[in-house]
Chain A
Amino acid sequence: AQRVTQPEKLLSVFKGAPVELKCNYSYSGSPELFWYVQYSRQRLQLLLRHISRESIKGFTADLNKGETSFHLKKPFAQEEDSAMYYCALTLTGNQFYFGTGTSLTVIP
């Protein structure tokens, strides 16, 4: 079965410090991988996806097929980055498998 694991439920970093949110997946094929974010009182929204290889709000994520990981990184955390982050994969259609999420708090 496909599975997405986010080992950290809570993560706190100081403003300006680097941040890495971990995501591992179990699937032998080539899934599409995404990071979704939910800011306080807002709906879940796409942050970035591996296929587009872009940096959004300073965040990047590299797909490591050998380690089956898709960690999210930002070199300098900002207070507005405080949110809930979900790693997700899709194999087909609009069917996403989500991790349990990591709540990031950036301390001023």
Chain B
Amino acid sequence: KAGVTQTPRYLIKTRGQQVTLSCSPISGHRSVSWYQQTPGQGLQFLFEYFSETQRNKGNFPGRFSGRQFSNSRSEMNVSTLELGDSALYLCASSADGMGTEAFFGQGTRLTVV
């Protein structure tokens, strides 16, 4: 069974630009959640999608958005990038999303310059 795949692995963007990150969950998993990991704040929940609907949302500004497609693949978009958005972005998939094991991807390292 293929694991959670995130693309790209590394990104360098300029302040003010926007970026789209992609996550392909494990086959059969319908829940995808996104996290931002920084040295100062640790792992922070961004949002969760389940069957193409956003089910939960963390405390991030509206510049952070996401979506999920019918094949459960998910994308996360950050608009008007700020230096503070530099982080490792992780996605996790789970089978039914109700407190079951979450499988994490390797992450996308975003650097904003």
Chain A residues in contact with chain B, CB under 8 A?
32, 43-46, 49, 51, 86, 90, 92-101
Contact = CB atoms under 8 A, between A and B. Distances in A.
Given A44-B90, A86-B43, A95 B104 contact: no
A92 B100 CA distance: 10
A26 to B, nearest CB: 16
Q: How large is the interface on B (under 10, 10 to 19, 20 to 34, 35 or more residues)?
A: 20 to 34
Interface of B: 3-4, 31-33, 35, 42-45, 48, 50, 55-56, 58, 90, 92-94, 97-107
Contacts of B93: 94
Given A44-B90, A98-B43, A93 B102 contact: no
B99 A32 contact: yes
20 contacts: A43-B4, A45-B104, A46-B101, A46-B102, A51-B99, A93-B48, A93-B56, A93-B98, A94-B33, A94-B48, A94-B56, A94-B97, A94-B100, A94-B102, A95-B56, A95-B58, A96-B43, A97-B45, A98-B44, A99-B42
